Chain A
Amino acid sequence: MDIASDTESIPSGETWPEAHESFVETWASFVSEQSKAFFQVWKSMMPQELGGLGGDHSETEKALTKLSEQWFTLYNDFTNAWMSFLPPGLKWPFEVWRPFEAWRIAFPKINIPALLPKEVAEYMFKANQAYQELGKSWLKYSEIASVTWSKAFERLLQKAREHAASPEAIPPTTVKGFYEFWMEIFTQEYDEALKSPEFISTQSEMLSNMMDFTKYGTGAMEMMISSIPAFPLAVRSEIDDVYKELHSMKRDIRGLSKGDREIKELSKSELDKVYKELDSLRREVRELRKKVTQRGKTVERTEVKEE
């Protein structure tokens, strides 16, 4: 069953809760069918001794069906209770949200200090908007992924047909051969899709919406915590300021330590130069002394000869 086409069949503009009810029914039958199908596959994987492959699972199936029915009843009751606040006659689906939108606009204008600050409503609205945008981009992202899968599958079939038609082509005769054949085509198709400008812009958009949702959600929480004196807690951005300061101080210390090390090394090398100079002076003195002593001896010998 194609859930997308089924939800589209609900006439837009129909008054809720009838439209909502039929929407839930469609979903309920979809989920129930899918869970049964999944259960069948899972059952076939189970070993014989655990009751798989023909074992009796009727009780489990009954329990599953009952569980999903209970879940949908609960959901319906909750939604109906909540939506009964709404004025009657609103059209499905967009008009249902209109009263909330009106309240969103009205709330900051009222600005009651005893309530939450108006920025909270603004942040929450932006977070909600980002969440809706995120949903849209996620749908687009999934669509590209599934269209690529279908395209790859079509290409696989086409290649298989070409193989069958061509006498020279060697079709994969083993399961492994077929798997590799499949793998190559699908990898190629996805590689092309993932590099396409459409995918890249969708992915960036999705990421950006995700960040907006997180940012505004965090902003609303921070604003709430900051505005209530009963919560004497530091918010994340305040802690981040401390981290920033800490990091900058660590850098300063590192710079100073490096400078100190360099000065020490420099003074060490300066001292080495002095030692070297001293050493060469000593050597010079030694040489001179040697020469003077030798000259003295020569003078002495000359004097002795003259005598």
Chain B
Amino acid sequence: MIGLEEIRSNFFEGAENIAALDIDVWQTPFDVIHEEGPFRLIHYHNGEKRYKTPILQVYAYINRPYILDLQPDISVVRCLLEHGFDVYMIDWGYPKRIHRFIDIEDYVDYIDFCIEIVKSRVGVDKLTLHGYCLGGTLSLIYTALNPQPIKNLLVQATPVDFDNNATMTLWAKSIDVDKIADTLGCAPGDFLNLGFLSVDPIRLIIGKYTNLVEHIVEEKFLKNFLRMERWIYDSPAIPGATYKRYIKEWYQENKVIKGEFTIYDQKVDLAKIDMPTLVLAANRDHIVPPESTTPLLDKISSTDKQLMTVDRGHIGLSVSSIAHKELWPKVCQWLEQHS
């Protein structure tokens, strides 16, 4: 912790530094393979492909997927590419009012469509599906309904059991979601963001910026801090129809784990998931606590299933140096053995 005089000098010097910085995200180059409304499928440029089974990453419809490729030196995408995997990613984009009727079924349909594209491009029958956060829940729903094209399932910080004591869960259970969705059309990104920040206001609103003032003169720290800030406040809206079902049927009625959630009137039975499955959880995750993720292991029928954890938070699972030192090499090893 620094003194007042230093804070003052850092404050002005830091402002000069920030003004001069270019905040770049999406570190690895990619091609857009397909676009439909706000959705798009991207393919990362890679060098040597050592494994035949491609990976399709399904990100959450909250926030942007470049958190998996935020910094040049710490990036999940780069880590996978460097290990010789062929990586595709679904980006759900920025839904606008015209997209307010997009439902969870449309997300699942697009995953199916993208899997077909990847299969025919690579010339394989099966691939590895990598779901992150709510993208993981979508991946589980898809896989339970269509297990055939999925060779391996990798889910990261994925909520499955929504009946927990996390602040976000308690809040979600009490809101009148119909009123919000019907009034606003889509749940605005800023509105959702405010919710995420208010969950832990002291650390996320005060603590974070105190830390910034302390290290503002260090260029690398500042750049990474601003990349993260850009990501945090780059929140897309959630289509109203999706928001309704997500809050009502996932949070309030906890239908996913109970096997009561339906897609086109078809029940999603997690026991239909029988392929090798790797579950990643962060011990200090306030948004999706481990107790929301780990019950999945008891529900699926896979015989080859594993849980890997790291002592970090929801985002730290992807962007912390600890996770990239301790967790991701093991994840890559698991994928190598299964691809």
Question: Footprint of B on A, CB under 8 Å?
Answer: 45, 47, 174-176, 179, 183, 186-187, 190-191, 194-195, 200-201, 203-204, 207-208, 211-212, 214-215, 218, 239-240, 243-244, 246-248, 250-251, 254, 258, 261
Contact = CB atoms under 8 A, between A and B. Distances in A.
B325 interface: no
Nearest to B199: A194
A243 B101 contact: yes
A74 to B, nearest CB: 32
Nearest to A196: B170
Contact of A243 (B100, B113, B180, B210): B100
Interface stretch (B19-27, B140-148, B171-179, B268-276): B171-179
Given A45-B11, A183-B203, A251 B1 contact: no
B98 A203 contact: no
Main secondary structure of the interface of A (DSSP, over half): helix
A47 B106 contact: no
B98 A175 contact: no
Contacts of B11: 45
A176 B167 CA distance: 28
A246 B11 CA distance: 51
A101 to B, nearest CB: 26
B200 A191 contact: yes
B207 interface: yes
A187 B170 contact: no
Contacts of A200: 170-171, 174
Contact of A45 (B8, B102, B199): B8
A240 B185 contact: yes
A214 B100 CA distance: 17
Contacts of B198: 194
Contacts of A243: 97-101
A203 B171 contact: yes
A176 B1 contact: yes
A44 to B, nearest CB: 9
Range of interface residues on chain B? 35 or more
Nearest to A247: B101
Given A190-B201, A243-B98, A243-B100, A201 B167 contact: no
B183 interface: yes
Contacts of A239: 97
Contact of B179 (A179, A195, A208): A208
A20 B176 CA distance: 38
A208 B182 CA distance: 12
Given A190-B202, A203-B171, A254-B109, A211 B98 contact: no
Contact of A251 (B106, B174, B185): B106
A175 B7 CA distance: 13
A19 B199 CA distance: 41
Interface string B187-224: 00000000000111111001100100000000000000
Contacts of B37: 250
Contacts of A179: 1, 210
B105 to A, nearest CB: 8
Contacts of A176: 1
Contacts of B180: 207, 211
Main secondary structure of the interface of B (DSSP, over half): helix
Nearest to B203: A187
A252 B167 CA distance: 39
A243 B100 CA distance: 8
B215 to A, nearest CB: 13
Contacts of A191: 167, 200
A212 B1 CA distance: 46
12 contacts: A179-B1, A183-B206, A187-B203, A190-B202, A200-B170, A200-B174, A211-B176, A215-B179, A240-B97, A243-B99, A247-B99, A248-B101
B314 to A, nearest CB: 16
A47 B183 contact: no
B12 interface: yes
A116 B37 CA distance: 39
B120 to A, nearest CB: 11
A201 B176 CA distance: 11
Contacts of B175: 204, 207
Contacts of B201: 190, 194
B98 A246 contact: yes
A248 B176 CA distance: 25
A186 B1 contact: no
Given A200-B171, A240-B185, A183 B207 contact: yes
B165 interface: yes
A19 B182 CA distance: 42
Contacts of B210: 179
B124 interface: no
Q: Which 7 residue pairs across A and B have the least CB separation, nearest first? A: A176-B1, A247-B101, A175-B1, A211-B183, A187-B202, A204-B174, A215-B183
B184 interface: yes
B61 to A, nearest CB: 16
A194 B167 contact: yes
Contacts of A47: 8, 12
B200 A187 contact: yes
